[in-house]
Amino acid sequence: MASLELKQLVKEFGSGASMVRVIHGVDLQVNDGEFVVFVGPSGCGKSTLLRLICGLEDATSGDILLDNERVNDKRAADRGLAMVFQSYALYPHMTVYQNMAFGLENIGTPKAVIEKKVGDAAKLLRLDALLERKPTQLSGGQRQRVAIGRAIVREPKIFLFDEPLSNLDAELRVSMRSEITGLHRRLGATMIYVTHDQVEAMTMADKIVVLRAGKIEQVGSPLELYNRPANKFVAGFIGSPQMNFVPVHAGHGDTIVTAHNASFTKPTQTRPASGTELTLGVRPEHLSLQAADGALALPMTITGVEQLGGHSLLYGTLPGAGGKDGPRITAQVAGQVSTRIGDTATVYASADTCHLFSTADGETVVR
C-alpha cells in the first residue's frame, strides 16, 4: 500500500530539433488506497505517465515520490509497482499457474510461498479451476484475470492499469469492471487506471484526472467533474452523450441571449459586460420537451432520432445566422417520442443546469 506524488514531472522524447515534450510539468497527489482514473484524448500522455510512474521510462525532470521517497533513480523492478496492460502480455507457452508464478520465481521466492500466493490469487479471481490451462485455452476475460493475478501475487505498492478492459466485449467489460472495483475494496490497494470508457471512469474512480496534451486540466471526484467542470474541455470530455455548446452573449443584467434571439436569466458571480461572447453548455440529459418557467427554449430542426426504449435521443440543429444551420444539439429525453426527421421540436434548458464558458479563452467557466 502506498501513496504517490508527482511534482513538476516532465517527459521529453528525442533530442535537438526532433525533441518532443509530451508531459508538461504534472503535479499530482494519489493517496493511499485511492482508485484514481486517468482520462483524456488519444496521445495526451496517459500511458507515458503510467510508464514514468512504474519506471519503464525515465523522467526528464521533476520528482516521483512513493511514500514520500524519491524513486526517479530506482529501477522498475525495485519500485514495487505492477502494471497490467490492455494486451495481457501473457507467456503463451506457460500455464496459468506458471504465468502467475513466473515473477516470484525470478526473485527467488520459495516454492511453498509461491504456491500459497498463486493459490490465494487464483481463488480471489476465480481461476482455481484453470491453473493448468494455457492462455490460448482461456476467454478474453479469463486471460485478463490471469494478467491481474500476476500483478496481485507480487503484492505491489500500487497497481497500474493501462486500459485493461478495452479488448473485451461489452458484457465482459461490465463484469470485469465490478471485479476490479471489488478487488480494490478487498485489497485496499492504491490503483491508477487508464481508460477511454466514460462509464468506467465515472463508476470506478474515487478521483478522475483529466489530461490534455500532457497537462492536467482538472482533478476531482466523478460528480465534481460532472457538476462543476473547471473549463469547456473538461465539460465536453466528461459525460456521454457529450455536452452541447451554443454560442451566446451576455445581455443586460443577468440575461443570456442566443444567436436565435432566445434569452433567459442566468445569474453569475462575475456578471460579464453586456455584449460579451460566451459559450453556453448544456448536457443532453438536461434538455426536456416540457416547457418550464424561465427555461431557455432551443428550437431544433430534427436531423436524427434514436429510440432506445427507456429514453430517446434527438439530434438536430438550432437556427443559424443567414438561413444557415446553427449549432448542433443532442437531447436525451425520457421515454419514447413521435418526433421524426425534419420536424421542429423545441427543447428547454433550465438555468441551473446550464454552464457558461468564456468564449475568448475557451476555458474559464463564468460561475
Ligand X SMILES: Nc1ncnc2c1ncn2[C@@H]1O[C@H](COP(=O)(O)OP(=O)(O)OP(=O)(O)O)[C@@H](O)[C@H]1O
Q: Which residues bind ligand X (CB under 6 A)?
A: 13, 20, 22, 40, 42-48
Does residue 47 bind Mg ion (CB under 5 A)? yes
In the complex, least distance from residue 169 CB atom to Mg ion, rounded to whole angstroms: 20
In the complex, least distance from residue 85 CB atom to ligand X, rounded to whole angstroms: 11
321 binds, among ligand X, Mg ion, none (CB under 5 to 8 A by kind): none
Within 13 Å of residue 20, how many CA atoms lie on the same side as its CB? 8
Q: Choose among 277, 242, 250, 285: nearest CA to 266.
A: 250
Specify the residue, 40 or 229, whose C-beta has the smaller distance to ligand X. Answer: 40
Specify the residue, 47 or 339, whose C-beta has the smaller distance to ligand X. Answer: 47
Binding part of the chain for Mg ion, among 43-51, 65-73, 83-91, 350-358 by CB under 5 A, reads 43-51
Specify the residue, 57 or 179, whose C-beta has the smaller distance to ligand X. Answer: 57
Say if CB 6 and CB 64 are below 8 A apart. yes
42 binds, among ligand X, Mg ion, none (CB under 5 to 8 A by kind): ligand X
55 binds, among ligand X, Mg ion, none (CB under 5 to 8 A by kind): none
Specify the residue, 17 or 20, whose C-beta has the smaller distance to ligand X. Answer: 20
- 25-59 in b/e form (b: 16+ CB < 10 A) is ebebebeebbbbbbbbeeebbbbbbbbbbbbebeb
Number of residues located near Mg ion, criterion CB under 5 A: 1
Specify the residue, 163 or 179, whose C-beta has the smaller distance to Mg ion. Answer: 163
Backbone angles phi, psi at 253, to 5 degrees: 60, -130
* 202 to 12, 164, 230: CA distances (angstroms): 31, 16, 17
91 binds, among Mg ion, ligand X, none (CB under 5 to 8 A by kind): none
Rounded Cα distance between 357 and 232, Å, is 6
| 73 CB-contact burial (10 Å; exposed 0-12 / middle 13-18 / buried 19+) | exposed
Does residue 142 bind Mg ion (CB under 5 A)? no
Say if CB 247 and CB 277 are below 8 A apart. yes
Say if CB 238 and CB 225 are below 8 A apart. yes
For the chain, give me the number of helices (H) and strands (E)? 9, 20
Residue, CB closest to Mg ion: 47
Specify the residue, 116 or 196, whose C-beta has the smaller distance to Mg ion. Answer: 196
Specify the residue, 64 or 96, whose C-beta has the smaller distance to ligand X. Answer: 64
In the complex, least distance from residue 304 CB atom to Mg ion, rounded to whole angstroms: 32
43 binds, among ligand X, Mg ion, none (CB under 5 to 8 A by kind): ligand X
Binding part of the chain for Mg ion, among 11-19, 46-54, 143-151, 314-322 by CB under 5 A, reads 46-54
**Beta pairing partners, 161:** 84, 193
Cell numbers that stand for 100 in this block: 502467475
In the complex, least distance from residue 84 CB atom to ligand X, rounded to whole angstroms: 14
**Beta pairing partners, 355:** 281
Q: Which residues bind Mg ion (CB under 5 A)?
A: 47
